[in-house]
Structure 1
Amino acid sequence: MKFPKLLILAFSVIAMLSCQKSGPKEIALGKDQCDNCRMTISQLGYATELITEKGRAYKFDDIMCMTMYENSNPDKAKNAKLYVVDYPSGKFLEKAKATLIKGGKIKSPMGGNTQAYQTRAAAEKAAANMGASLTK
C-alpha cells in the first residue's frame, strides 16, 4: 500500500516543478546584487539575467556585466537563455530578440552604456535622441 502513495506523491512533486516559471526572475531593486561585480542592482532599465540550462538565474546590473560573466563562466553560459530589460517598459525580453543601442548620452551603472529595446523603431528613435548608435 505504501508504494502507490509514494508514486502519487512523486508525480505530484514533478507536476508542481514543471509548472514553475522558467523565464527571468523578478529583480528586487536595491536588494539584489549583480552576480558579476556584486554592485546592488538599482536601475531596472539596465538589468539583465542569464538563466542556465538547469534553471539557475544570474542577475546583472548592466549588459556589460552579463557579457563579462558569460566570457569568464562558459560552463554556466553554455545553452543559457539571456534576457535584457526593454528600457522604456521595464519588461524582460530575450536578448536575441532585442535591438540594442550604445553610446551617446546613455549612462549605465557599469559603463556599458547600452540600452535594449523591444522594437527596432523604438531603438532608432531613442538612438537619434541620445546620440547613440544601434549595435544590433
Structure 2
Amino acid sequence: MKKVMKRSGLHLLLLSAFLLFVSACGSKASYEPRAVNPEIDACEVCNMSVAHEDFATQLVETDGTVHMFDDIGCMVKYLDGEGKNKEIGASYVRDFETMEWVPFEQAYHAYHPEFWTPMAYGVVSFATKAEAEAYIEQEGKGEVLDYNGLEKVDWVMQGH
C-alpha cells in the first residue's frame, strides 16, 4: 500500500509541476507582429489593399486576432471607434526606412499635411527620432511627434 501511495504521490507531484509549467508559459502572452501579405491583407477601416508596406500598421488583440491598416490614420480611427471595445495586446507601425515593426508607443513620426501617405493623413513613422528628423530635413518641412504628440494631429485625410 505504501508503494502505491509513494507512486501516486510522485505522479501527483509531477502532474502539479507540469501544470505549473504550462500555466506559467501561458501567462506570458506574446503579441508578435504578423507579416503583411499585400495580395490578401486589406485595411480594416478603408478596405484598401495594404500595398504600401512601408506605411502598414497593425493591432494584435489579446486573443491573437490581427487587424491590418494601410495608414496610421486608419489605425487611429479604428482605435477611436470600433477598436475601443477590443482588448489590444500590442500595436505596431512600420519604420519607413527599415520596414521593421516598431511598437506604436515607442515610434517617432514625421508629420506634415502635405506628406504623401496611402490615405493622405501625412504621418510617416520611424523607429528613432533621428530618422524622423532626417526625413523632415530631406522634405524641407514637417515636425517630429512622439506617441503623445500625435494627439495634436487632426486625423482627416488631407488630399482625398
TM-score w.r.t. structure 1 length?
A: 0.79
Corresponding residue for residue 134 of structure 1: 144
Identify unmatched segments of 5+ residues in structure 1: 1-6
Is the aligned partner of 1:45 residue 2:54? yes
1:117 and 1:37 map into 2 onto residues whose CA distance is 23
State the secondary structure of the residue aligned to 1:51.
strand
Structure with bigger gyration radius? 2
1:30 and 1:132 map into 2 onto residues whose CA distance is 32
Match of 1:66 among 65, 75, 87: 75
State the secondary structure of the residue aligned to 1:68.
helix
Q: How far off is 1:22 after superposition?
A: 2.8
Q: How far off is 1:88 after superposition?
A: 0.2
Corresponding residue for residue 8 of structure 2: none
Equivalenced residue count is: 123
State the secondary structure of the residue aligned to 1:129.
helix
Corresponding residue for residue 35 of structure 1: 44
TM-score w.r.t. structure 2 length?
A: 0.68
1:21 and 1:104 map into 2 onto residues whose CA distance is 35
The alignment-based identity, stated in percent, is 23
2:89 and 2:48 map into 1 onto residues whose CA distance is 22
Runs of 4+ in 1 over 3 A off after TM superposition: none
1:80 and 1:113 map into 2 onto residues whose CA distance is 26
Corresponding residue for residue 89 of structure 1: 98
Q: How far off is 1:104 after superposition?
A: 6.0
1:79 and 1:90 map into 2 onto residues whose CA distance is 22
Q: How far off is 1:79 after superposition?
A: 4.1
Corresponding residue for residue 113 of structure 1: 122
1:65 and 1:104 map into 2 onto residues whose CA distance is 15
Answer yes or no: is the 8 Å Cα contact 2:111–2:123 preserved in 1. yes
Q: How far off is 1:103 after superposition?
A: 1.3
Corresponding residue for residue 3 of structure 1: none
Q: How far off is 1:80 after superposition?
A: 3.6
